[in-house]
């Protein structure tokens, strides 16, 4: 069993302190706390400018475990040029900051639709388009299977097995971002982590599932405060050879988003030692 | 494609009007509205008394699509005599009212546990015990796979495939209760409905997934108000030969539980015609 994660191996997903800090402040915070990696969201990246951000991250000596997020292929019910272009920009931003991958939240059902099979087809069509460009600039694309409670409005790819089926068909340059929050309940998860393998295991995100959970989106817990066997899942991905950052992404309207962000980072580090 | 459900083919799960009506009132309501079936929850059944309820249901000429619910095997971290006895009573109650099945909500993680594999093992052990008795009184046991968002605190069996794996091992007398709310997102659902087959398809529940969903438990929608392709799923279960009741179970704190129950039943019937 794995025995804790050093701060240098943690990555701060900027969503964890999104209500408190800009990207510049996040970079500075990571440097001060000895957190080794960062994973920006695009809104914060664009606010700072990708070129400035790339320089600041480089100067701070921090790695980039991912860029959140591309995708959202389904909303219009067709793969529009606007969606293709936006994902192309996301790939270029990921390349500019040297992100280990571009994380994809693929989109839920098209507006007004009840046809989830059509949504799946749109996602695969969109990913194929994005991949064409991503391969040319060597940005790995990571499908993030989201928890099934987001199938309607955020992502209709909800299991690791389903994401890997798509990867199998799409070929090189695409894999998965596994977030314990989304996958912990899956009775097939051990087999699917094995199936993923090192090459397709592009990111590993942690937080915790609180009991009770009071909101579908913004009531995620700090590692250790919930019921997920995070250490067990980490051991499984590391058995496949995963040696990337352990990225902390916590959406928490009523708790962590209201705290002093230095306290949030200190707690991340403290809890990292026991997962 | 199926073309709507007559009132006589609908069943009222008492949870749909649980804040407004007793079981006696539900039975009377079904009779007045021409709703053909009922599925009581045990609290309401015990309040009325199973013998009285059985007589009232019989006198009203109504069928019983299920009894909700047995299970809850995991909480103590071991299969206690109290849990075995309670499930035995549930089986006897189901027999007394002539329920088509006893619906099982199997339980989430044991208190303080993060070991979902252990929870799975407890569930299977508990179901095996309950089955021994259920077979002697011919009450079919129906595992209800719940949506993965309930894995922590309600049921750690969250896919139809996982439930059927258990059924395969447990043998005769056990099948599944499929509720569109819990299964609609599953990319394997079509294959798993085929795998279920008529004999193991013991109940079919409907409501709808609202976008947005404001509460994990009590924000379910009336059929037609959400994004589930209910007609498509119904066509698939009927293709397997399912000819039981279409049971309406809606947990809705802020909407349907606050309305006049006669309006709720009238709306059920109206919407039944378009699913």
A68-97 pLDDT, tens digit each: 999 999 999 999 999 999 999 999 999 999
Give the residue extent of every domain in chain A. 7-272
Mutate to test the interface with B, among A74, A106, A114 (most CBs of B within 10 A): A114
Give the pTM.
0.97
Calculate how close chain B gets to A64, using CA atoms only, in Å.
30
Mean pLDDT for chain A overall: 97
Q: Which residue has the tokens 């909101």?
A: A215
Calculate how close chain A gets to B85, using CA atoms only, in Å.
27
Across the strands, what pairs with A219? A252
CA B12 to chain centre: 11
Give SS3 for B252.
strand
pLDDT (tens place) for every residue of chain B, 275 residues total: 457 999 999 999 999 999 999 999 999 999 999 999 999 999 999 999 999 999 999 999 999 999 999 999 999 999 999 999 999 999 999 999 999 999 999 999 999 999 999 999 999 999 999 999 999 999 999 999 999 999 999 999 999 999 999 999 999 999 999 999 999 999 999 999 999 999 999 999 999 999 999 999 999 999 999 999 999 999 999 999 999 999 999 999 999 999 999 999 999 999 998 88
Q: Could you report the per-residue pLDDT of B190-220, keeping only the tens digit for each?
A: 999 999 999 999 999 999 999 999 999 999 9
Task: Give chain A positions within 8 Å (CB) of B228.
Answer: 114
ipTM, two decimals, is 0.97
Q: Could you report the per-residue pLDDT of A130-172, keeping only the tens digit for each?
A: 999 999 999 999 999 999 999 999 999 999 999 999 999 999 9
Dihedral sign, Cα of residue B10, residue B14, residue B16, residue B21: positive
Q: Which residue has the tokens 């809890």?
A: A271
B7 in reach of chain A (CB within 8 A): no
A228 in reach of chain B (CB within 8 A): yes
Q: How many other CB atoms are found less than 10 A from the CB of residue B261?
A: 20
Across the strands, what pairs with B174? B141
Is there a contact between B71 and B91 (Cβ–Cβ < 8 Å)? no
Cβ contact (<8 Å) for A211 and B184?
no
CA atoms of A234 and A179, how far apart (whole Å): 10
Task: Provide CATH code, domain A7-272.
Answer: 3.20.20.150
Percent of chain B residues topping a pLDDT of 90? 97
Nearest-Cα residue of chain A relative to residue B115: A229
Cβ contact (<8 Å) for A227 and B109?
yes
Q: Write out the two tokens for B124.
A: 């299977």
Q: Which of A157, A78, A61 is nearest to A112 (CA)?
A: A78
Q: Write out the two tokens for B207.
A: 């409501």
Q: Write out the two tokens for B155.
A: 């049921």
Across the interface, of A114, A185, A229, the residue whose CB is closest to B227 is A114
Strands A10-13, B141-143: pairing is unpaired
CA atoms of A14 and B116, how far apart (whole Å): 30
Across the interface, of A152, A187, A228, the residue whose CB is closest to B209 is A152
CA atoms of A26 and B142, how far apart (whole Å): 51
Across the interface, of A147, A153, A229, the residue whose CB is closest to B148 is A147
Cβ contact (<8 Å) for B149 and A152?
no
B7-225+247-270 CATH, one of 2.40.50.420, 3.20.20.100, 3.20.20.150, 3.40.1350.10: 3.20.20.150
């Amino acid at each position: 069993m794995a025995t804790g994660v050093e701060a240098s191996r943690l990555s701060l997903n900027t969503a964890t302190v999104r209500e408190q800090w800009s990207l510049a402040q996040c970079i500075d915070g990571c440097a001060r706390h000895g957190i080794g990696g960062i994973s920006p969201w695009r809104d914060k990246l664009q606010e700072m400018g990708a070129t400035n951000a790339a320089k600041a991250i480089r100067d701070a000596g921090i790695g980039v475990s991912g860029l959140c997020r591309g995708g959202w292929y389904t909303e219009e019910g067709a793969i529009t040029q606007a969606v293709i272009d936006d994902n192309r920009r996301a790939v270029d931003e990921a390349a500019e900051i040297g992100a280990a991958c571009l994380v994809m939240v693929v989109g839920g059902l098209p507006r007004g639709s009840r046809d989830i099979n059509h949504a799946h087809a749109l996602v695969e069509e969109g990913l194929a388009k994005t991949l064409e460009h991503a391969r040319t600039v060597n940005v790995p694309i990571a499908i993030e299977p989201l928890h099934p409670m987001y199938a309607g409005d955020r992502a209709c790819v909800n299991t690791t097995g389903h994401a890997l089926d798509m990867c199998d068909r799409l070929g090189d340059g695409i894999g998965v971002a596994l977030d314990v929050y989304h996958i912990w309940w899956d009775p097939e998860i051990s087999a699917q982590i094995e199936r993923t393998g090192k090459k397709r295991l592009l990111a590993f995100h942690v937080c915790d599932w609180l009991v009770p959970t009071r909101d579908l989106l913004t009531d995620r817990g700090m590692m250790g405060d919930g019921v997920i066997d995070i250490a067990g899942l980490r051991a499984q991905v590391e058995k496949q050879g995963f040696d990337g950052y352990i990225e902390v992404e916590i959406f928490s309207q009523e708790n962590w988003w209201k705290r002093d962000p230095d306290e949030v980072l200190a707690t991340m580090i403290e809890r990292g030692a026991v997962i």
